[in-house]
Amino acid sequence: MAAPRGLGRGLGRSQPTTVVPGAEVARGEAWLRRQPASEYTIQIASFAQPERAGQLIARGHWERPIVSVPVLVEGAVRDSVLYGAFPDLRSAREAATRLARASEGKKGWIRGFRTLQSLAAPVSLRR
């Protein structure tokens, strides 16, 4: 997935960009844990190799917080790249549509924080 360039305003709440390379997953996990379980984010990618998540984050010009978080999927640890925090499903859908226009039609998956918080990989299972 090509990283979006110059995503326009209006992608949810106005917040400064927070770039968290894959090597700094602790910060990504802290960000994930701070989000209200009832809110949403956009998962723009999932990688078996954590360095790929960091590369995607580094390539973009993001206007929302973007983090890499290790999650447990079918017994395997994958690094999910999460973009933004949105108070409701409608806001997340609107942001996903704008994200698709800025990134070759790939809008990602809207995910609830409750689900992602439950999937965060335990430290003992990480690479």
In a domain? residue 50: yes
In a domain? residue 125: no
In a domain? residue 66: yes
In a domain? residue 52: yes
In a domain? residue 36: yes
Residue 36, pLDDT > 60, answer yes
Per-residue pLDDT of 81-114, as tens digits, reads 999 999 999 999 999 998 888 776 677 899 999 9
In a domain? residue 126: no
* 3-state secondary structure labels for all residues of the chain: CCCCCCCCCCCCCCCCCCECCHHHHHHHHHHHHHCCCCCEEEEEEEECCHHHHHHHHHHCCCCCCEEEEEEEECCEEEEEEEEEEECCHHHHHHHHHHHHHHCCCCCCEEEEHHHHHHHECCHHHCC
Residue 79 domain boundaries? 22-120
In a domain? residue 29: yes
| pLDDT score of 90 | 97
pTM for the complete prediction?
A: 0.74
In a domain? residue 127: no
CATH number for position 106? 3.30.70.1070
Number of structural domains found in the chain = 1
Kindly state the average pLDDT of the residues 74-81: 88
